[in-house]
Structure 1
Amino acid sequence: MPRKPSNILYSADEKPPLGTLVILGVQHATLALLFLVYPLVAAAEAGLSFDDTQVLITSCIIFMGIATIIECWPKFGAGMLLVQIPNTPHLPLAVQSLSAGGPALYATMSLIAAVSQLSLTRFMGALRAVFPPEICGVAVTMLGVALAEPSLRRFFGLTEVAQGALDGRYPFVSLVSLVIIIVFAIFSRGLLRLFAVAIGAAVGWVLAAYLGVAPAPAATFETLRYVDLPRIGWPGMTLSWALVPAAIITGIISAVDMLGTVVSMQRMDDADWRRADMNQAGRAIRANTVADMGAAVTGGFASASSSAAIGVAFATGATAWRIGTIAGLVILAAAFSPKLIGAITLIPAPVVGAILVYASAFLIVAGMDLILSRRLSDRRIFTVGLAVLAGLTVAILPELVTSTPDWMQPVLESPLSVSTGVAVGLNLFFRIGIRQEASRTVTTLENPFTVATEFLEHQGDLWGARRDVVAAAIPVVAEGVEMLLDTEVAQGSLEMRAHFDENNFDVSLIYEGEPIAIPTQRPSPEDLLGDAQAVARFVGYMLSKRADKLILGKDGTRQKLTLRFEH
């Protein structure tokens, strides 16, 4: 079982009290439903009718709820708090598809995107080398950067005031809401911390209403029913070969987005986190694609795990998967209540901005933490730096994106997809010339600790091994070299051979001499004064207690002692 971090009150498998569970679930569901603005924007841009828009939104809500429940339930999905929202990378594809061929064309393109996303789950084991922690860190950081633009627009009221001077009421409401969330999240304990986001949102809503920046209900709001059957339907199927590349790329971007959110939750929920659990990520992506296929054939907008929900989980200190199942049920129930959906859309923009700014800040720092969890050689420094800079380029200079061909724009509009693509490409390119195994001869005239430090730190930098693993290996390897040479179990010199993969950091000591044995009982210190076999037993026992695993073998005619450190 993973060790729970000190800042987490309820970890993934823990069960909060029922009242707390319900309130936290409603809090996550409310935030998720706020993102319905994305399919609404797509419908407006494409000029959909009222009936088609209603189907697009209703189906999206239904499968957001279903996907959230499947994602969170351990027997079917990832077993972690992954709350679904409308999938932002789908927005360009939806606008183009709906404009060109209506709901039938978007349904076809959504299915193609889902299949391309699902196909990546067949290679999750191989993707571990493609997505080491520093590359995942770039993706998580750019999730935060991508969230910054919509969050800051709402924070400063730029979505409400298109022209003219900045209205100070909007940033004031946002700042008050953000300060309250931070204060309760950091300085409070118990229930107050759990409901930090809800308290900040409630105070911000009241303040926004008092200052006159809360949206007024539309004339049709009163006519909405409290309970009504959801309207979904078969949209038909139409194919446009011109949009197929954009659909495939959208699916790949969605998979990378999902991978980033899964890694963020894994990192948050495990104090001893070492590497991404690709099997868990694969289950999350598969659950998401099943829901996307359901949404496609019923005329809905695709969904994906919410990066904003990660910030809320961090603020509340609760990552229990049961919270997600409650959130999924609430989202699903919202599809049967037009009045509830209408009320949620009335939450003031500066309040939403404050919540998203908090989530964005958390993701940026969490990504940096992932990046710096590995030793960074010059190759990795350039990989990370150039990838982040590429993503910032398309965010800061949108005119570069608009000057590219239409089929490229859906990819280049996303800082996340650009940064992750550049990071993966540079990571594969810079692996050229790096061997996964290296060796060095050590003699009795050399200082074992100095040799082990220089050799293993150099190789750790090249391979991008975790800092704590290399630091733990150095004294053990140095002690093994020293004991083998000083006790003359190894005759004159030995070969120190290091090997690295994403799971293990192995250092083999290969020498001419007596084989060592690993006794089950601690040898007595007097064995050091005995014959070579007794000394070898003492060496074997000591090293077996220092490494994660000690493996004995032969390399030709020489003895081979491998010290394994789990990575």
Structure 2
Amino acid sequence: MEQQTGAAHLGHVRRIARGVRRWLAPPRGSARPTRRPSTLVYGLDDKVPLSTLVPLSVQHAMLALTFLIYPLVAASEAHLGAHEMQAVMTACTMSMGLATILQSARTRIGSGYLGVHIPSPSGLPLAVQALTLGGPPLMAATTLMVGVCQVFMARLARPMRILAPPEVCGVAVLMLGMSLAGPALRRALGLEGGAALVRPGALTVSMATLALIVGITVFAPRRFKLFAVVTGATLGWLLAVPFGVLQPDMAKTLAEVEFVDLPALALPGLTLAPSLFPLLALVVMMSFMDVLSTTVSLEKMNDADWRRADMGAAGRAISTVGLGNILNGLTTGFQCGLSSSAVGLAFATGATARIIGICAGVVIFATAFFPKAIVALTLIPSPVIGGILLYTSAYLLVAGMDLILSRRLSERRVFLVGLSILAGMSVALLPLKEQLHPAIQPLFSNPLTVAICAAMLLNLIMRIGISKESALQVEEGANAFLTVRTFLEQQGDMWGARRDVIAAAIPVAAQALEVVVDNGIAEGPVELRARFDETHLDVFVIYDGAVLEVPKERPSPEALLGDAQEVARFAAYLLKGLGDKVTFGRVGGKARIILRFDH
């Protein structure tokens, strides 16, 4: 009997081990060929020397931990005691570290990119209201519900590809930069806390920090660029002393916390408030688009031939954010999301290796056992953080423009992009939020949210009346190249196809048209047809006549001196290697050449 019980337990252990191995294994079929950008010093899968890995990881960890100011603000608004406040920040730190490790590791759980988790600014209104209405138990319950909803939303990432073409993602990344610009400028100019006048000391410190980061990034040798941000932050902190921008009670604040302490974690007593459900739904949707835009930025940074969002990786990224927030809810932590600042830091250093993210997660998690370090990092001079955020904002603005311009812009897309950006800017420039009903005010609290919602809505509206397939009857004696170029450029503008794909398709389709017309293969008029979706561009040459035969072996050059049939066979052989997929056949009594180009 004991042997049977032992065998049963052993069987359970083995099944659990198999399950863990399955989830920790790399995702199946998700990797696609990428070309490493020349600007990267350390790519996604590169090994980073320990002497470089440690400072790079610490840079990311330090920048992430400065955002603990958000749970600190929420706890202060709700007048929590010092012990409760420290417990919230410690729980948030541990969850951030574990989620960063899961996010950066190449498993079936995380995206596999250098994605660092930070307390989410968009979660601040929900946290403040929850703490005010029901204290830490209610905040824990709402954070837990946000995490569960995010895990379920991750399964909708692939179907939602239609809502997130590159121009919509570009607007999201662009507005992500704009949403960072406001807090960055307030910190850089010393306009926090309702101040109306620029503080010269704060401006000097922030501009010195920014100038050193940009100077090292642009002019320094490649090996020094890895440490641009930490060098700039160090200079800024040193200048903060003589310019008087340090917090006056810094020493007293640090003296009140222990240097080393074990985290005091306990399962909270969860409570619910239905009045917070509408705000919770808005936060989930905002976080979905925030994670999507950040993941797209990381993808594009790691692939010189980036074409479209990898929704599989985006879904895993959202799922990991959800798991991190479930952990935050169970430990009374603060809602977290992906850091766009980490994207700017990775760009500055030219290092996107996932091992950096894993080590940064370890550093963040370990910091939870050093309360004095957590508090010290929240006390980094505000102008220094402002200089770093200005750099990040500048990168995201340009990255968003690059995404938008990766497609051909028709009139529809021009207005989609322009009106969406104007909608987001209206929130930043005009006092619209106070004039709205309190239930929907959180939706208009951030330019990013408004711009993304407007872009998604306009994307659906602008798709009305666009046919995904178009045809043209080729006139007798028409120039093949000019006919194909005019047709495909017009349709490419209408569909928003990538410029390089249209440019590659034009000469190949023109050559196919010349083959059937000039060699007498077509017995009558020829029809040119094109079909487009987000993954492929198909060009059809349809005619009455014989189907072109592709020789199995390479024809000799002398075939060009033979009759029209030999010349056609030689041309068909060449065509076969020009497109991503070329087929010759007959449908409905008509012969056709199908040229496929991956998009």
Both proteins in one fold, TM over 0.5 = yes
Tell me whether 1:203 sits opposite 2:215 in the alignment. Answer: no
What does residue 550 of structure 1 align with? Answer: 582
Alignment of 1:435-450 (within 5 A): 435-450=467-482
What does residue 529 of structure 2 align with? Answer: 497
Tell me whether 1:55 sits opposite 2:101 in the alignment. Answer: no
Q: Structure 1 CA distance, aligned partners of 2:253 and 2:159?
A: 53
Q: CA deviation at 1:447?
A: 1.1
What does residue 337 of structure 1 align with? Answer: 370
Answer whether contact 1:115 1:251 (CA < 8 A) is retained: no
Q: Structure 1 CA distance, aligned partners of 2:585 and 2:125?
A: 57
What does residue 254 of structure 2 align with? Answer: 221
Tell me whether 1:419 sits opposite 2:451 in the alignment. Answer: yes
Residue correspondences, number = 565
Distance 1:164 1:550, change over 3 A: closer
Q: Structure 2 CA distance, aligned partners of 1:238 and 1:405?
A: 26
The alignment partner of 1:416 has SS state of helix
Could you tell me which of 261, 264, 274 is aligned with 1:231? 264
Answer whether contact 2:150 2:321 (CA < 8 A) is retained: no
Tell me whether 1:286 sits opposite 2:286 in the alignment. Answer: no
Q: CA deviation at 1:182?
A: 0.5
Q: CA deviation at 1:530?
A: 4.0
Per-residue CA shift, 1:178-213, capped at 9, x if unaligned?
A: 111001111112331100111111111111112222
The alignment partner of 1:67 has SS state of helix
Q: Structure 1 CA distance, aligned partners of 2:442 and 2:133?
A: 15
| Identical residues among aligned pairs (%) | 49
The letter for the 1-side match of 2:145 is I
The alignment partner of 2:121 has SS state of coil
Could you tell me which of 247, 257, 276 is aligned with 2:290? 257
The alignment partner of 1:498 has SS state of strand
Answer whether contact 1:54 1:231 (CA < 8 A) is retained: no
The alignment partner of 2:470 has SS state of strand
What does residue 37 of structure 2 align with? Answer: 5
Gaps of 5+ in 2: 1-32
What does residue 17 of structure 1 align with? Answer: 49
What does residue 311 of structure 1 align with? Answer: 344
Per-residue CA shift, 1:326-366, capped at 9, x if unaligned?
A: 11011101110011112212311111110000000000110
Q: Structure 2 CA distance, aligned partners of 1:56 and 1:523?
A: 74
What does residue 434 of structure 2 align with? Answer: 402
What does residue 83 of structure 1 align with? Answer: 116
Q: CA deviation at 1:535?
A: 3.5
What does residue 111 of structure 1 align with? Answer: 144
Aligned Cα root-mean-square deviation (Å) = 1.5
Gaps of 5+ in 1: none
Alignment of 1:332-481 (within 5 A): 332-397=365-430, 399-481=431-513
Tell me whether 1:101 sits opposite 2:134 in the alignment. Answer: yes
Q: Structure 2 CA distance, aligned partners of 1:116 and 1:249?
A: 11
Tell me whether 1:46 sits opposite 2:78 in the alignment. Answer: yes
Q: Structure 1 CA distance, aligned partners of 2:189 and 2:72?
A: 22
Per-residue CA shift, 1:446-477, capped at 9, x if unaligned?
A: 11111111111111111110011111111111
Q: Structure 2 CA distance, aligned partners of 1:152 and 1:292?
A: 29
The alignment partner of 1:227 has SS state of coil
Could you tell me which of 556, 559, 571 is aligned with 1:539? 571
Per-residue CA shift, 1:95-133, capped at 9, x if unaligned?
A: 111111222222222233223322222222222221000
Q: Structure 1 CA distance, aligned partners of 2:150 and 2:571?
A: 51
Q: TM-score, normalised by structure 1?
A: 0.97
Could you tell me which of 515, 524, 532 is aligned with 1:483? 515
The letter for the 2-side match of 1:482 is E
Answer whether contact 1:547 1:563 (CA < 8 A) is retained: yes
The alignment partner of 2:149 has SS state of helix
Per-residue CA shift, 1:63-92, capped at 9, x if unaligned?
A: 110110000000241111111110111111
Per-residue CA shift, 1:261-282, capped at 9, x if unaligned?
A: 1000111111111111110111
Tell me whether 1:512 sits opposite 2:544 in the alignment. Answer: yes
The letter for the 2-side match of 1:304 is G
Answer whether contact 1:59 1:299 (CA < 8 A) is retained: yes
What does residue 29 of structure 2 align with? Answer: none
The alignment partner of 1:342 has SS state of helix
The letter for the 2-side match of 1:266 is E
Q: CA deviation at 1:46?
A: 2.0
Q: Structure 2 CA distance, aligned partners of 1:101 and 1:134?
A: 41
Q: Structure 2 CA distance, aligned partners of 1:56 and 1:236?
A: 14
The alignment partner of 2:594 has SS state of strand
What does residue 143 of structure 1 align with? Answer: 176
What does residue 10 of structure 2 align with? Answer: none
Q: Structure 2 CA distance, aligned partners of 1:189 and 1:82?
A: 26
Answer whether contact 1:485 1:493 (CA < 8 A) is retained: no
The letter for the 1-side match of 2:111 is A
The alignment partner of 1:468 has SS state of helix
Q: TM-score, normalised by structure 2?
A: 0.92
